């Protein structure tokens, strides 16, 4: 009856009680093709096609042995043109009831949350499914360019969206955790939970290099807490020089450095001297006062070739009166002109 297509050992499938086959599932399992999903409800003759319906020639366990017509007929996406594998199980679940139940297998790039997209062509725009890039910006360059709060382009943000965003729908919540390590702790320490959006500190949206602390740290409390602190100025954005971790107990005393703040130096804005940051700031006078030196005409410091060391003639209290002493300057004291 079976034309030897299933061997000569009838007992593999039949019992001595009747000819009915009750172990079809086990038989397929033993042959390396478990009947799962839609394969479990298909009739034998849908796969084992024969004129007598009793011949069960081996057709192989590869998907394409049965599904080559499906492969060639699929147009969304076009499998042959896209160069898809003929191993259907690479994309489709063999335990599903149809091709799209529980979505296709896309484990190499999980299609969840914001990436839960039914239309493959939204990402695979070229029609070629074999070399689609997985970098964020490959799909989200327009989103990056159009983002204004904050302005991603103007702020030179990374184009790797995952550095700040999850794959949740709508891009939120966003979390720039590198801020703690690279700039200032805002997700840990004293500032954790004390802010709600970037604009709280970065009030000049196009330029995230600029920031302010006095949006939250207001007077008179701030002045009172800094009473007697050398070099403190409420309007100065130099808070980080004394509070690099944002903690109020960080201590910094300029008078313990090699440049104590005396006289007028004690009242100037920190940024006047630390325009380029707080590391490696020079302490020689002309570093800050070269313009004063060049513009002084009574007497003309440049023409007279005065030294650039302002302290040789001036005190920290003020430019006037000058401490220049004719009787102690050797060139004058010895009568040379």
Q: d(Cα 120, Cα 138) in Å, to the nearest integer?
A: 15
pLDDT higher than 90, residue 320: no
The string of pLDDT tens digits covering residues 203-226 is 887 677 788 888 889 899 988 888
Going by the DSSP 8-state scheme, the letter that residue 194 receives in this structure is S
Position 295 confidence tier, pLDDT thresholds 50, 70, 90: very high
pLDDT value at residue 333: 47
In the chain the first and final C-alpha atoms are separated, in Å, by 132
The mean pLDDT of 71-87, rounded to a whole number, is 84
pLDDT value at residue 103: 58
Total-model pTM: 0.45
Q: Could you give the angle at the alpha carbon of 110 between the alpha carbons of 102 and 33, nearest 5°?
A: 50
pLDDT value at residue 210: 81
Q: d(Cα 308, Cα 174) in Å, to the nearest integer?
A: 52
CA dist list (Å): 36 to 68, 70, 97 = 19, 19, 9
Q: Where are the domains of the chain?
A: 212-279, 286-333
Give the contacts of 4 (CB within 8 A, at least 6 positions apart): none
Closest-CA residue to 278 (of 288, 270, 286, 268): 270
């Amino acid at each position: 009856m079976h034309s030897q297509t299933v061997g000569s050992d009838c007992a593999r499938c039949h019992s001595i009680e009747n000819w009915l086959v009750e172990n079809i599932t086990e038989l397929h399992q033993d042959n390396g093709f478990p009947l799962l999903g839609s394969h479990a409800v298909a009739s034998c003759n849908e796969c084992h096609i024969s004129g007598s319906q009793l011949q069960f020639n081996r057709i192989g366990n590869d998907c394409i042995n049965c599904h080559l017509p499906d492969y060639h007929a699929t147009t969304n996406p076009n499998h042959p043109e896209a160069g898809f594998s003929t191993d259907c199980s690479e994309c489709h679940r063999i335990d599903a009831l149809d091709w799209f139940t529980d979505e296709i297998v896309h484990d190499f790039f999980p299609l969840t949350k914001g990436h839960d997209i039914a239309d493959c062509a939204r990402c695979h725009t070229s029609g070629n499914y074999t070399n689609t890039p997985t970098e964020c910006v490959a799909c989200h360059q327009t989103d990056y360019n159009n983002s204004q709060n904050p302005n991603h382009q103007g702020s030179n943000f990374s184009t790797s969206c995952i550095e700040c965003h999850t794959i949740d729908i709508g891009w939120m919540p966003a979390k720039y955790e590198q801020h703690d390590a690279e700039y200032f702790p805002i997700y840990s320490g004293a500032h954790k939970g004390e802010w709600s959006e970037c604009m709280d500190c970065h009030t000049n949206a196009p330029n995230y290099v600029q920031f302010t602390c006095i949006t939250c740290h207001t007077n008179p409390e701030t002045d009172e807490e800094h009473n007697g602190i050398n070099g403190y100025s409420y309007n100065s954005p130099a808070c980080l020089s004394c509070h690099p971790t944002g903690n109020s107990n960080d201590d910094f005393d300029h008078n313990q450095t090699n440049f104590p703040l005396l006289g007028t130096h004690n009242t100037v804005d920190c940024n006047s001297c630390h325009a380029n940051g707080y590391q490696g700031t020079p302490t020689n006078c002309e570093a800050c006062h070269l313009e004063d030196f060049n513009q002084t005409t009574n007497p003309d410091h440049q023409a007279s070739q005065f030294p650039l060391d302002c302290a040789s003639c001036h005190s920290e209290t003020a430019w006037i009166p000058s401490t220049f002493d004719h009787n102690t300057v050797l060139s004058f004291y010895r009568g040379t002109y």
